[in-house]
Amino acid sequence: MKTKLIVIMGPTAVGKSALGIELASKYQGEIISGDSQQVYRGLDIGTAKVSPAEQALVPHHLLDVREVDQGYSAFDFVQEAQAKIQEIRARGALPILVGGTGLYLQSLLEGYHLGGDVDQTALLAYRQELEALDTETLYGLVVQKGLEIRELNRRRAIRALELAKFGQDLSNQEQDFEPLLIALDDERELLYQRINQRVDAMLEQGLLEEAKWLYDQYPQVQAARGIGYKELFPYFEGESSLEAALETVKKNTRRFAKRQLTWFRNRMKPHFFMVSNPTFKEDLEAVVEEFLHD
């Protein structure tokens, strides 16, 4: 029997972390973070990492597992998340994956074997390059390279092109878990309002000091390219006002939320729930109960 796994995804600021804690408390669960920035120690405010008090409510995993000057890839995440799922299940608990990094979630759920010997930076850069292409251009590359794909779609086209370029065994591996995919969403106006409010709250909590530390100590590292940090660098350099820099943080975060939702809708096919719906919690509980007791 495959291990049951609940996956909570959605755009930033929609309430994923709170729901994860709620479900973990109710169903004897443990949370695995699926966020590419929350793995870094010292980056707590800008990544919207759950507080120590929240972490104390239920076990959390894959938070603070890298120093800011270390790299972290989808390959690393898949390997470490798989191990955590097995550990949690061995304790008789329910693994709950919570995060908004679509590439990481999809790589784990679809069993991507990203190739430990492959240059991960090059592989992910190539994938992002392909993702940015319109469908006609992407399919044109498939034809140009003479690739034969059954039931052609964007996902299969990108995977075939990756295989052709890197020439290694990157075929997907069957996973030993059964996932329930839950995606949170809300009306755009409400979601964008929460994003703006979150950035304001981050500033009060010390975002500026955290970003300045990153700017002074590690300006070139992978972690420094995260939204909420890089937008403040022009302010530290005297090229932007603080007000303008914070507005850019908000704008980029809103755009990122839109990209997240597009990824989840087009690639993940989860159960979507609108968090402002009056019956949101009841509807979600019914789906979770049916999944766990099926």
The answer to whether the Cα torsion of 78, 84, 89, 95 is positive or negative is negative
Copy the structure tokens of residue 32.
């695995």
Question: Which residue has 């992978």 as its token pair?
Answer: 222
Q: Side by side, which strands form the sheet with 271-274?
A: 60-61, 29-33, 94-98, 3-9, 177-185, 271-274
Q: Is 17 known as a binding-site position?
A: yes
Distance CA 11, CA 6 (A): 17
Q: Is 15 known as a binding-site position?
A: yes
Distance CA 32, CA 63 (A): 8
Q: Which residue, among 196, 212, 201, 226, has the nearest Cα to 36 in the 3D structure? A: 226
HSE, CB side, 13 Å, CA atoms: give it for residue 263: 21
Q: Is 13 known as a binding-site position?
A: yes
DSSP SS3 for 48: coil
Distance CA 241, CA 41 (A): 28
Distance CA 129, CA 136 (A): 14
Q: Is 47 known as a binding-site position?
A: no
Count, in order, helices (H) and strands (E) of the chain.
12, 6
> Binding site, residues?
10-17
Point out the annotated binding site for ATP. 10-17
Annotated binding site for substrate: 12-17
